[in-house]
Structure 1
């Protein structure tokens, strides 16, 4: 199912086509080559002073890392994310040998967006999740104190919404994508005065 962005200006196709489905094909494969491309895209994201604060835990369906990441997700996210071809956890490194890394979360956000857009270019979909237990990730993967698990990411091949089972979830999957109007998003001159 394609749900291109309804925008007031033409967008790059990768951006227009990116959305976050939950309906994933449990037989769809994400290859190691594809994961390498996603992680290279993330690696080349900008970061403050080239501090590169982003790190990723990576598992493919069927391996131990995938199962351990899946176990840290909320039950609701486990119900659909187990069909993903790969599960990742994006982690922010907050300190390095020079001390506190400025804008570390911003750097992780940029890296994660690069990863998601690369997934679109690979014919895959990606869904980022806050619904996971960061402390469980720390424990499962011996994540050091200076690193903070921030988001889990399911990557896979899209399936029909019916795989989600519950009508509420199917309807939500099929619903139009929405964003606030541009005049409420971009201001000029003073806060709240629409730029467009």
Structure 2
């Protein structure tokens, strides 16, 4: 179930279109509300963990200041106090084309436990219903089967590969390109 609180939501005011979203076992909160912490960065960044708390705070502040048109959300549990699970958000939106890319990162201990699936459903639904998007896309690495499953559960389909575009652990990997269109999502929602 999706709950959104924003009496002033509009498609043109991307950052302010909602304050908090709760779905399943998770809550989304905008990065800009001050809850994002260095520990959260370390738990969800995966590849690049800042060496110090000061650097983490600096990177987070810089990211929030420079990406005013992109939405970024901390994914938290509904527990009290909430536990940071990861982050998610659409970025690189092209208003003329009504298209955006989604990025998601989960802490390792939360992968495969349904948090990614919950988060993808919420952000895709908001992208189509609140932001008026026509297409949502993402890249996933073939060594991330839990991610592929979560994306497929949210209606994404593989549409191609960018060959040998990612160097990891001493070898090249293809990027798997997946997307979902607004009419596909509408059909998917009625089946789910």
The structure richer in strand per residue is 2
Q: TM-score, normalised by structure 1?
A: 0.32
Greater helix fraction, Structure 1 or Structure 2:
1
Name the TM-score, length of structure 2 as normaliser.
Answer: 0.33
Please tell me whether Structure 1 or Structure 2 has the larger radius of gyration of its CA atoms: 1
